[in-house]
Structure 1
């Protein structure tokens, strides 16, 4: 990046702040969601003025994805890049705990405050501003540049998956979610429902007889065996599984919600357990789900009641709101992949210090790119402890430096020939 371009970011930082202020003013909280049409139109108008071709489509009603594409001059032979960010934000709840208006950007000292400044409208503003400066300074890209602003990440809605299903692809995908400007991969998360369901329904007055004959059982009582088995599997994983960057035992199975029974006059004929499973970056969510299923089936194979009433499983979903389920695939990062090396170099060129290649403590949409075979990494401004917090904040200087890093990385990557 030229000194002149770096100076432009400093000189026009008020423009970056105004852009972020505009984005924060759209209350795109999720849940309840279904509220992103206006912000996506704002971003589309912004990108179209920079000669991006845009496409919007509803993933859910009034919740569209947006992809802005600027074709490179030699797209077939030079690297393409996706910059991906979600434009929904965490719910605010009782705003009386905030010292500033959540949806009005407030500057205090070196910090900017507002819902989404760290998670992750600050990063989206930086990407948009970087695209504007590249355009205005006439810096040509030989490879394609995509800017994706997606919906639903806060509630497990697969906005990024929808982009992939539409065929959007690249040689590298940079998810600019908050990582404190470290380069991150991630483990994964999948939720599932385990159901114990009896084929027979009995009156509560039959319980003594059922206890005597063993012909019936309470689904709630049977579920306790399932819960014990899940705990045993979690302990087994803690001993047998590991991955660099994670402490032992990070692969967890959380029995999060339980629902069961009809009425006190019935022996419970159904019980449902909602579980959350965390797994390592080198594991596939489909295989993890199958591992849980097979373990539970084996754990009850000697119980004759379960032979007549087998366990039922439902996994994942494209929306925590619509499906009561979600999937966040894991993402491994290859430190030797050219885009990762170049991102490290770009960071150093701006920061004059190295960044680390490590693992996120949380999950983002990066896993969908890895699952689709697109090399990816998480790299963005903002600290995890600010995400979802009261009085969410970020340092303006962090946004300025991140913008400069993007201005270094984008033309460097998109002007390198494909391998």
Structure 2
């Protein structure tokens, strides 16, 4: 009963301080952090660092790239050995904004209109960051302290596959549970994984265009080939594997055929007067959480190597592979590991109760059709869920918007979650 009374009072404060919550969203939106081009998050991250310090966090920060720091705040628990610890994670970078886009309002001002707040990043995911920060501040102002350690990670690079969250894990930050407050329409979600790769076909010799007759017609006796034409066999092989996956692989929470291999970019040839001696294919692979990306890589490579063995020229000059990368900007590659959720996790149970208290309805558990940094937390052995305001239809959209009512309910839900989690013992 005392818990309910405290929560009722906190919920009333959120309603009364709606303008303050919206002002926080507007402030975060005002920092222009589109990625690409990136390298622009310093001021925004210093603002978050200041907010965390004001409510008792020790702040650690380092540069992922120039002018793009990662900020991690730690608030020590009153009895950390007896209580559960928690990570709240979110990214400060937002999708790019092009001059040609038809925005009806300035994208970096946070305009309130017709029960929505508009601006780049309100749905993905500065609304989630603001709601979580506001909930933490509210509890602190009311003298409510965490029993276990509370870690707040404001990272950069998520939009372009730069693993700011991975750098937090590599630095040693861990907890009993993690909530990534990214776009999920306030559903508790897991996700599939994504990895990009480059498949390259390279001829050891470069031939003049005038020699083509000798390598493609009877009696020419020139053992040569166009790398572009040979790549067509690889693309067909990838399509066959994708179709095989669609038939043979399923995963709860995903529509059939969600394991895809997209031939996204092709680069090849040097000049019209030459037979193409090199061709590179950039692919994007979506896979289910039942597999690790290393298994997926092995499966693709094995299949393409078998395709190559069936071709006399490719058998002698098989494709090579480069997988993943640390940045779509720096090295044109990325990895987003997959993760599942277990309803039996204590954190999920607490979050389900918190959501029902705030939204007056049961929360949906689902699998996100996109990817977030949550996979890196799972890779580090941390039970993690995705739970944040905003819809995928609004994420990255022109005239991106977020429901103010959903923002308030999310803030209430996070407040209820933290209030119970602060007190939860191991």
Short-chain TM bin: over 0.9
* Match of residue 354, structure 1, among 355, 362, 379: 362
8 Å CA contact 2:162–2:327 kept in 1: the answer is yes
Q: Name the structure 1 match of 2:140.
A: 135
* Mean CA deviation greater in 302-311 or 324-333: 302-311
**How far apart are residue 391 of structure 1 and its match?**
1.2
Q: Deviations over 1:226-266 (max 9, x none)?
A: 01100100010011000011121110101111000111222
Which residue of structure 2 aligns with residue 79 of structure 1?
A: 84
Instruction: Determine helix, strand or coil for the equivalent of 1:118.
Output: helix
Structure 2 counterpart of 1:192, from 197, 201, 212: 197
> Is the Cα–Cα contact under 8 Å of residues 308 and 318 in structure 2 kept in the other structure?
no
Matched, 1:10 2:15: yes
Per the alignment, do residues 188 and 96 of structure 1 end up closer, same or farther by CA in structure 2, a change over 3 Å counting? closer
Return the TM-score normalized by structure 2: 0.96
The one of 313, 317, 332 equivalent to 1:305 is 313
2:274 counterpart (266, 271, 291): 266
Judge conservation of contact 1:95–1:102 (CA < 8 Å) in 2: no
- Which residues in structure 2 correspond to 1:54-69 (within 5 Å)? 54-69=59-74
8 Å CA contact retained: 2:93, 2:158: yes
Mapping of residues 250-261 of structure 1, within 5 Å: 250-261=258-269
Using the TM superposition, name which of 76-85 and 31-40 deviates more.
76-85
Q: Do residues 228 (structure 1) and 236 (structure 2) align?
A: yes
Q: Distance in 1 between matches of 2:274 and 2:197?
A: 26
Check conservation: 1:189, 1:328, Cα contact below 8 A: yes
Cα drift, residue 95 of structure 1: 5.9
CA distance in 2, matches of 1:96, 1:280: 34
Counterpart among 90, 97, 109 of residue 92 in structure 1? 97
Query: Is 1:248–2:273 an aligned residue pair?
Result: no
Q: How many residues align?
A: 418
TM superposition shift of 1:417: 2.0
Aligned to 2:298: 290
Matched, 1:167 2:164: no
2: distance between equivalents of 1:73 and 1:408? 19
CA distance in 1, matches of 2:422, 2:136: 13
SS of corresponding position for 1:273: strand
* 3-state DSSP of counterpart to 2:122: coil
Contact 1:100–1:114 under 8 Å retained in 2 = yes
1:294 shift after superposition? 0.6
Task: Give, in whole Å, the separation in 2 of the partners of 1:288 and 1:76.
Answer: 39
CA distance in 2, matches of 1:25, 1:95: 20
Residue 387 of structure 1 pairs with residue 392 of structure 2? no
3-state SS of paired residue (2:52): helix
Q: Distance in 1 between matches of 2:153 and 2:287?
A: 27
2-structure distance, mates of 1:309, 1:148 = 46
- Describe the superposition over 1:346-384 as per-residue Cα deviations: whole angstroms up to 9, x where unpaired: 101111110111111111111111122110000111111
Distance 2:121 2:235 in 1: 37
1:192–1:276 Cα contact (<8 Å) kept = yes
Following superposition, the deviation at residue 84 of structure 1 comes to 0.5
Q: Is the 8 A contact 1:261 1:268 kept in 2?
A: yes
Determine helix, strand or coil for the equivalent of 2:74.
strand
Superposed displacement of residue 214, structure 1:
4.8
Name the CA distance, whole Å, in 2 between partners of 1:322 and 1:182: 33
Task: Tell me the residue number matched to 2:383.
Answer: 375
Instruction: Compute the displacement of 1:209 (Å).
Output: 2.1
Runs of 4+ with >3 A deviation: none
Q: Answer whether contact 2:105 2:399 (CA < 8 A) is retained.
A: yes
> 1:156 aligned to 2:145?
no
Using the TM superposition, name which of 343-352 and 89-98 deviates more: 89-98
Q: Indicate the residue corresponding to 2:408 in structure 1.
A: 400
> What is the root-mean-square deviation of aligned Cα atoms in Å?
1.1
Q: Secondary structure at the match of 1:380?
A: coil
After TM superposition, give the deviation of residue 303 of structure 1 in Å. 2.4
* 1:2 aligned counterpart, secondary structure: helix
TM-score by length of 1: 0.98
